[in-house]
Amino acid sequence: MAKQEDDFKKVISHAKEYGYVFQSSEIYDGLSAVYDYGQNGAELKKNIREYWWKAMVQLNDNIVGIDAAIFMHPTTWKASGHVDAFNDPLIDNKDSKKRYRADVLVEDHVAKIENKIEKEVAKAAKRFGDAFDKEQFLATNPRVLGYQEQATGILKRLGKSLENEDLADVKKLIEELDIACPMSGSKNWTDVKQFNLMFGTKLGASAESAMDLYLRPETAQGIFVNFLNVQKTGRMKIPFGIAQTGKAFRNEIVARQFIFRMREFEQMEMQYFIKPGTQKEWYEHWKEHRMKWHLSLGMGEENYRFHDHEKLAHYADAASDIEFRFPFGFKELEGIHSRTDFDLSQHEEYSSKKLQYFDPETRENYVPYVLETSIGLDRMFLAVFSKSLQEEELENGTFRTVLKLPAVLAPTKAAVFPLVKKDGLPEIAKEIIADLKWDFNVLYDEKDAVGRRYRRQDANGTPFCITVDHQTLEDQTVTIRHRDTMEQQRVAITELRSIIHEEVDMRVWLRKIKG
């Protein structure tokens, strides 16, 4: 645990030191669970968003993107169920006065049991060496089976109690599991209560005429209320999808995990409108497709897993999370939800407007079913950033900190250095910058010894460093150094663009999804 916490602290301080993420309003001591993205963070975030948008909208002929407003008519949230049911179960510890999400306390307890399974696996792998068969071990080892049974039993019971709104049983479960407050160790708990997560605000100048509004807690509803507008104007035929990225707001009860759980965050969502009865196959399709998107970034298959939901949200008939191995363990990164016709039917009822699709082949009208993929941009940022941050021991026994961001997402693609600040080398370096900047984000650095400049760019996540030296004056060649291998090549200045392009071009990365 201590190592995990230590690694996570390093992620947070590196994000700050290198201009990726700052605490919001830091000069006023910050605002809890609200963060600002710095000069590098804004670029990384933009690149992740673009990577998603290209894969989702540009490469799918039947998916289009929109940009709906954050403010929506308040009846939207009545219809969607958020006013009545967008609650989290909270529990307070009477001694430490700390507030927790009751379901998260239980899930964290289960994560500890799962950790024990991982430890057993690691131990056995060491003992058996090459002969180790993980699948078989998981299926037969009595201790592991015992842990698995415990974990699923707890999650099942939690799911059932939440579904039945049996909050007294959630408290009972916490007590039975002997869960203590992580801050104080106390087991003196209050009852579990529901807490609505939406932020309210007002629209209008005078107190009498002002209208109560909510800041949207998800981007999906902006898609549902525009379903017919897009279908008609785009002449879309089912199945088709509508995608959007944008801010969402939730008054989270516990928000202690940096940008993992924020009160203002960004979502990237896609609602896929389908014929009723086909939801199972589309659910499987999108689960597989989204997993491929994640794997295309090369951050290791072992760091992802599906988690099928026991407890379904009020709108869903099937749901699964893609979980990622964050520095604090496996947690939800993306949700794939089969939302049935819940949302469109509700909006039909509350607006008294028909939200139906006319099938030109069967000549029937129906309310489509919806398959949703929903990922948090900030969570994706944390996944990429935390996995990329590495400490490496070099051959000479020294260490380097390197941010091995997938090159396609890196904020700066190349840094250009003159070896020395004289003899015309800076001028050539600046000419190279002036040329490359039409295609890539590049930067110029002439301060300190070249070795120090390399380290700075390693820590910054820059995939290439280009050095101009005296030989450049003679033959128009430079050295190009690769961040991950630290290999250096002598190449002609005229080749630089294509060398960089080959590694950072989205086309090359996204092809892996199709392939």
Three-state DSSP at 481 gives strand
Only segment of 114-122, 257-265, 342-350, 421-429 that touches ligand ATP (CB under 6 A): 257-265
Least distance from ligand ATP to the Cβ atom of residue 166, Å:
19
Which of 44, 57, 52 minimizes the C-alpha distance to 18? 44
Q: Are 275 and 364 in contact (CB under 8 A)?
A: no
Which of 386, 292, 323 minimizes the C-alpha distance to 52? 292
Least distance from ligand ATP to the Cβ atom of residue 241, Å:
16
Single out the residue of 55, 262, 408, 425 in contact with ligand ATP (rule: CB under 6 A).
262
Structure tokens at 132: 């180790």
Least distance from ligand ATP to the Cβ atom of residue 485, Å:
32
Least distance from ligand ATP to the Cβ atom of residue 446, Å:
39
- Degrees to nearest 5, angle at CA 88 with 312 and 159: 35
Q: Site size for ligand ATP, by CB under 6 A? A: 16
**Residues 6 or more apart whose Cβ sits within 8 Å of residue 335:** 319, 320, 321, 322, 372, 373, 374, 375
Tell me which residue has its CB nearest to ligand ATP. Answer: 376
Q: Are 379 and 333 in contact (CB under 8 A)?
A: yes
Only segment of 296-304, 359-367, 376-384, 488-496 that touches ligand ATP (CB under 6 A): 376-384
Which of 79, 389, 57, 375 minimizes the C-alpha distance to 246? 375
- Looking at beta carbons only, is 216 or 347 nearer to ligand ATP? 216
- Beta strand pairing call for 442-444 and 414-418: parallel
Per CB under 6 A, 265 contacts ligand ATP: yes
Least distance from ligand ATP to the Cβ atom of residue 257, Å:
9
Please list every residue from 101 through 160 that binds ligand ATP, using CB under 6 A: none
Q: Please tell me what DSSP assigns to residue 277.
A: T
Per CB under 6 A, 250 contacts ligand ATP: yes
- Looking at beta carbons only, is 40 or 374 nearer to ligand ATP? 374
Least distance from ligand ATP to the Cβ atom of residue 417, Å:
37
Please list every residue from 208 through 227 that binds ligand ATP, using CB under 6 A: 218
Single out the residue of 50, 252, 310, 505 in contact with ligand ATP (rule: CB under 6 A).
252
Per CB under 6 A, 326 contacts ligand ATP: no
Least distance from ligand ATP to the Cβ atom of residue 328, Å:
12
| Cis bond upstream, residue 327 (ω within 30) | no
Burial 122-139 (b: 16+ CB within 10 A, else e): eebeeeeeeeeeeeeeee
Per CB under 6 A, 384 contacts ligand ATP: no
In the chain, the largest separation of any two C-alpha atoms, in whole Å, equals 80
Residue whose pair of structure tokens reads 């997938």 in the numeric block: 406
Distance CA 256, CA 297 (A): 27
Q: Distances from the Cα of 16 to the Cαs of 32, 327, 484, in angstroms?
A: 16, 17, 22
Please list every residue from 165 through 194 that binds ligand ATP, using CB under 6 A: none
Least distance from ligand ATP to the Cβ atom of residue 260, Å:
6
Site track for ligand ATP across 330-349, x = CB under 6 A: --xxxx--------------
Only segment of 171-179, 277-285, 369-377, 429-437 that touches ligand ATP (CB under 6 A): 369-377
- Looking at beta carbons only, is 169 or 252 nearer to ligand ATP? 252
Q: Are 210 and 203 in contact (CB under 8 A)?
A: yes
Only segment of 206-214, 275-283, 374-382, 502-510 that touches ligand ATP (CB under 6 A): 374-382
| Site residues, ligand ATP (CB under 6 A) | 218, 250, 252, 261-262, 265, 267, 332-335, 374-376, 378-379
